[in-house]
Amino acid sequence: GEDVEQSLFLSVREGDSSVINCTYTDSSSTYLYWYKQEPGAGLQLLTYIFSNMDMKQDQRLTVLLNKKDKHLSLRIADTQTGDSAIYFCAEIVWNYGGSQGNLIFGKGTKLSVKP
Amino acid sequence: DVKVTQSSRYLVKRTGEKVFLECVQDMDHENMFWYRQDPGLGLRLIYFSYDVKMKEKGDIPEGYSVSREKKERFSLILESASTNQTSMYLCASSFATRSQYFGPGTRLTVL
């Protein structure tokens, strides 16, 4: 079945770049997502990338997609203490002949930013 | 801005009680989802709904039921709460093939 894998922890120093990696299994996934969860809160959609793209940049965030290796990464430039959170990677899987989609989430990577 | 609200942020119930968790979205989304989140297990899908009065089982539906009488509202019901249902419950909504938007979560403790 579909599976999304990501490392559980990442620790960086303030001002450094953070790179969170993710691998997925469904080659038919057309959208891949990154969500952020701050302590005690729900998930906040950070960004997504369509499968025909290799890269997407949005301010300090850069998403890289290697479709051949089914590898997705999220780079956060100039990481700040406010970026400390859990980051979830997710792929979309299709139901009902492709008219509806559910998300399969990784277990999340806890990013700790040290001052 | 999409807004997904959940009826309670924190809830404490006793074993055997019937528990209702309510979720409301204001963006006319067709799809709504209930997840539970536990340390080390990530998010697990309990139930989802693609339309009013429609429901589908997710990965862990046992011990739960849902109700979708109106498009904007999706309720999760624990018929007889048990201690292993202590968890963080997250509701989400989306258009058919688009991004899911999450509510703030309900942390449920069953004593």
CB atoms within 10 A of CB A22: 24
B102–A44 CB contact, under 8 Å: yes
Q: Is A53 helix (H, G, I), strand (E, B) or coil?
A: coil
Per-residue model confidence as pLDDT tens digits over A57-93 = 999 999 999 999 999 999 999 999 999 999 999 998 8
- From A41, A42, A107, residue closest to B42, measured CB to CB: A107
Residue B77 touches chain A, beta carbons under 8 Å: no
Tell me the nearest-neighbour CA distance from B39 into chain A, angstroms: 9
**Residues of A whose CB is below 8 A from B31:** 100
Q: Is B27 helix (H, G, I), strand (E, B) or coil?
A: coil
- Give residue A1's pLDDT: 60
- Give residue B13's pLDDT: 97
**Residues of A whose CB is below 8 A from B41:** 107
Task: Kindly state the helix (H) or strand (E) to which residue B23 belongs, with its residue range.
Answer: strand B19-25
What is the rounded CA–CA span in Å between residue B41 and residue A20? 18
Q: Tokens 């299994």 map to which residue?
A: A25
Instruction: Dig out the tokens for A93 from the structure.
Output: 């899987």
Kindly state the average pLDDT of the residues B100-110. Answer: 95
- From B31, B50, B102, residue closest to A43, measured CB to CB: B102
Average pLDDT, chain B: 94
CB atoms within 10 A of CB A64: 17
Tell me the nearest-neighbour CA distance from B6 into chain A, angstroms: 10
Tell me the nearest-neighbour CA distance from A17 into chain B, angstroms: 25
Closest CA to B39 of A9, A19, A20: A9
Kindly state the average pLDDT of the residues B36-54. Answer: 93
Contact map slice: B 27-46 vs A, CB within 8 A: 31, 33, 40-43, 45
**Residues of A whose CB is below 8 A from B4:** 42
Q: What is the secondary structure of B40-78 as a DSSP string?
A: TTEEEEEEEESSTT--EE-S--TT-EEEEEETTEEEEEE
**Residues of B whose CB is below 8 A from A108:** 42
- Give residue B47's pLDDT: 96
A103–B100 CB contact, under 8 Å: yes
What is the rounded CA–CA span in Å between residue A14 and residue B3? 32
Nearest-Å Rg of the Cα atoms of chain A is 14
- Give residue A92's pLDDT: 87
Kindly state the average pLDDT of the residues A11-17. Answer: 97
Name the E strands within A1-115.
4-6, 9-13, 18-24, 31-37, 43-50, 55-58, 61-66, 71-76, 85-95, 100-105, 109-114
Check pLDDT > 70 for residue B2: no
